[in-house]
Amino acid sequence: MNRKKVTKQFSAKTLLCIITLVVTFSFNSCSKDDDKEKEPLANEKGIIINGVKWATCNIDSPGTFASNPEDAGMFYQWNRKKAWIATGSVSGWNISTPSGTTWEKANDPSPAGWRIPTLSDFETLFEYGKVTNEWIIVNGIKGKKFTDVISGDSIFLPASGTRFFGDGMLVSEGTNGFYWSNTMHTSYESAVYCLNLIGSDAATTFASGRSSGYSLRCVAE
């Protein structure tokens, strides 16, 4: 075989291999970028604060998370799966007191693998020296950021207000945030422990009647 012909063939084969490698690399790079877009959202992975894994977003419609940490999601009455919008007015508000002594699994709007937090879960957010909290604004939305002192990881709970138990009117939006727990109060009959962000003051837990519409931030099962 002619030496020049061999050289030309070799060069052509080499060039073909190089083109193939470049195309393959480009395709794989795009595939990796696509895979990144398909990775689980942070709220599906959760953030560990003082030993408890919290979702990074409120619950939206049953079985789903809100898109962003600052989004209100939807409001729920205790031990009821019906969701209420977090803006404007509503009709058909249920003024009766929800029954039960625990948030039943059938009525739990948490996505799979998550549950309504207990009072003990909320209390881990207030352990001095382990967690800090501060009133901040995220994309124009006021709320509380809770930060794990050791890891530096944090979650943001928006001050989405509440729907008043008597008529479902939206109140305290932007000044307070209310979050249900799955723990009955030990002293007040029919009352449930809740988390209250209390504006720029320190957050706390308190007793609440069950007919109000509050936000839900779940923890990993």
Q: pLDDT tens-digit profile of 46-99?
A: 999 999 999 999 999 999 999 999 999 999 999 999 999 999 999 999 999 999
The span from the CA of 46 to the CA of 55, in Å, is 5
**Count of beta carbons in the 10 Å neighbourhood of residue 188:** 12
For the question of whether the overall pTM of this predicted structure is more than 0.75, the answer is yes
205: CB partners within 8 A, 6+ apart? 119, 122, 123, 181, 193, 194, 195, 196
Low-confidence residues of the chain: pLDDT under 70: 1-44
